[in-house]
A and B are shown apart, each in its own frame.
Chain A
Amino acid sequence: MKRLILNLFAIIAACMSISVSAQDVMIARSKLNFPEAMSSLQNAIINHKYTLSRVQRIDIGLTKAGFKTDLYRVVFFGKQKELKWISDQYPELAAYLPLKIAIFAERDEAVAVALDPGHYIQVAEDARLKDIYIRWTRDIQSILKEFRTAE
């Protein structure tokens, strides 16, 4: 009985999440200003048990090169064991890893953008990877939800 109930929940939850993620590019807006939004994004990534490896400051490079731009960063994150196993077994996927989320300022708000890891099925398709892609998608959706609702 318990299993039946759990299965029902899983089916409904899956149907509902599909309707939410019908696009390849996942995008979310935070009402917080950029520094606070950046901090909430990093916290959300850590809360989902990922290690932050680096923040690429795109805006700094552009400004130094003489261009006018608002704040723009790319946040890289991943899990060491996963990165090692995937780059050993499926090197073609290494070009997309670690995972990343771009974040940029729009006036006094911030927008975060991520690629739906479901895209990676075009890079490497294997039964062993399927669950990982699904989990990454779910985690990034959840991270972006935290980012969107952070106060």
Chain B
Amino acid sequence: METINFGIDLGTTNSLIACFVKGQIEIFKNPSGFKDSLPSVVAYRKDRMIVGEKAREYQEKDPANVVGRFKRKMGTAEGFKIKSLGQTRTPIDLSAEVLKELKGFVHTGQTVDAAVITIPASFDTIQCNATKQAAEQAGFKQVVLLQEPIAASLAYANKRKEKEMPEGKWLVYDLGGGTFDVALVRTEHGELKILDHEGDNFLGGVDFDSSIVEGLIIPKLEQSGTFADLANQMKSQDGKHNNLWAKCLHKAEEAKIELSSKLSSEIEIEVTDDLDDQHDVVLSVTRSDFENLIKPSIDRTADMIKAILTRNNLSSKDLNFVLMVGGSTLVPLVRQRVGELLNIQVVTDIDPTTAIVMGAAYFAGTQAIQSKTASGGAAAANAKFSIKAVYERQTRDTEIPFSAKVEGEFTGLSYRIVRADGGFDSGNKLLTGRIFEDLPLEQDAFNVFEFRTTDAAGNLIPNNLAEIQVAHGKYSVAGQTLPQDICIEIDSADEHGSTVLECIFARNSLLPAKKKRTSSVSRTLIRGSAGDAIRIIVREGPADSGPESAKEIGTLLITGSQITRDVPKGTDIDLAFEMTESRDIKVQAYVNATGQDFAEVFNPKQRNVDVSNLGHHLSLLQQRLDHELDEATENDQYETAKELKRLESAILDVGDKAAKLSATDVTDDRYKLEDRKRDLAQQIDRLTGDKRIVKARKEYEDMRDECERLISQHGSDRDRFKLDQIKAQEHAFLKATNPKSIQQRTEDLRSLVIGILVKQPEFLVQHFNSLCRQRSRLNDEAQASLLIESGQRAIQQQDFDKLRTINGQLIDLLPEENREEARTFTGIH
């Protein structure tokens, strides 16, 4: 079996490529220089396109043609205008150029068309898909995405000997150039698993650089010369001082690096002010100045660590250590604050800048290539037989069972399996349709076995297997986990016209995953109706929040023009969801009424944050918050009101910042603000989610009391038994955090109540009178008159069975939208 072997760390500031070779990792050096990494910068200069160090050199001088830091905009609709081309390049295009350049690092002559590419754990599905599209654009035929904290854990775990590695939990604190992730990792029986993680796609070393520019350099420049609105003029694409922004970021980055080993650093900047006067500005930055600037950011990372520990009912004593990765963990304050917070060992043993690519390559060494393309050579490709092998690629056992199925023309051939270190030789054996061997392994090593096939004369005959590779004692990955719930949006049962989320795959589920669900159509879809459609909307976000708090991943549309006959209301649709390790989501819908199958794999989709829309959505959020605040105050829910008040000031702060953004702002601010807006919406959901639970509990208790009363007066033993059964489960479902499970029991009680009521003459008469009052709304006047007369006679004759039937017929004459409620009310299905 051939494995992918190539791992790529596609970073915000730097990218790396490495290869897994017989248990060891080789990081390929940049052939244009002597570094391991490639700056993730792309330059379009005249007729040439250049990626890496040379592009970075021109980044500050020629920002109109040189682009960096585009990973932070992956999955967004934003493009970069390239002056020399007169065209726009997307973050996907630019990432593809970096990936192509990395391929050129591989000096061994191998074809690189499959790779494991790392992504931040907090990347959403849109961003994952964008990364995959970039890889496809760069010519990769197979791509497996791996979350960066898993990669780092794998690098560290593989570096250590198994006997030294205690089983347990640890944190991976990954603060890179542009993203932050903290992951809770567990190792058990040699298998690594991410239990939980938190992250921020907009927190990293580049933010420290921006802090230095905004907090120290700009104020100093303003003191030194005459500038109007300097910050905006620097940050805006059309700003007079836009070049100065890139230049200052570069200077700030240099100072930041120097401050990791020294207590102060000098920054020199040449600047021309608004009066065309030149100034040579020199400012001294102390480590203490720098730490004051970045402390709020570091404290935010500390808050995320606390959130993970709280959510998992852990204290820092339950952790073995915290593993520091990412170039920004070289900043002394970062290590110091994390050490103070957790009071456990802070591990800095591995090179924080290469850990992720090492882990990616380890993982690539365990991933099978799906379609064989290169190795094996033409001879193997021309072989008249093929071997399909099955065996464990990683184990802690001392030997593995190896089996293979052989197909094609192989009569008279023999095979022989030899371990590369000479420790095992199967001897020549006749090749048969099925092969079984127990292969003994060298411990704590990467075992390579040669699989040779020979003819009767002992001549070597090429085959498609060639090598068997087994890692002994190495750690493997249990599977990748989902960063957020994946949900579908469905019509709300409670409020007409509103929608709710239903979880399909829960946060932290292991991928790949599959799930099936049957949904009912809530309104009739007429064949041929162009505008009408059933929408299966897939969203990513907390399932217990509102749909507006979750990002849309994609929508499977079934339109009237696609269906072969009408799909009546109430028809079942069988939905099947599949999510791969790389987070492709396949949604399949089988419409029972027509026998048609609809399917879609959601394609990469960009995230578009329009500055004016952002303001609009913030004002809607503000309105919602005002409403919730009033309600909480009226209901004396002081704690909730206090929390909502806190959120109100946060919304105002985001609103202020959004209002100051220019439509052409070149920074990441719009995405940061959009993330904060969604986070605030989720917090409101959480706070008011409690309110929904309180409401659901109250409704349940009211219904239960009503049920008790009715059963004591009119109920049967069977009704009592059903009620007791529901009450016996109260202790469990009343504690639920999701109101749906409580509402389900309330519905069960309602059915019970209705079942008793419809046997009561007073209720039937009352219901008949209620329907008579709606006479003007009934569809068929003549039929309604006849039914009403019959009903009145049935009451006189006390024929209540007949009255029940007449009530049902009257309900059928109601307009469609009223029937559901009326039927639920009567219990007629």
Same complex origin of A and B: no
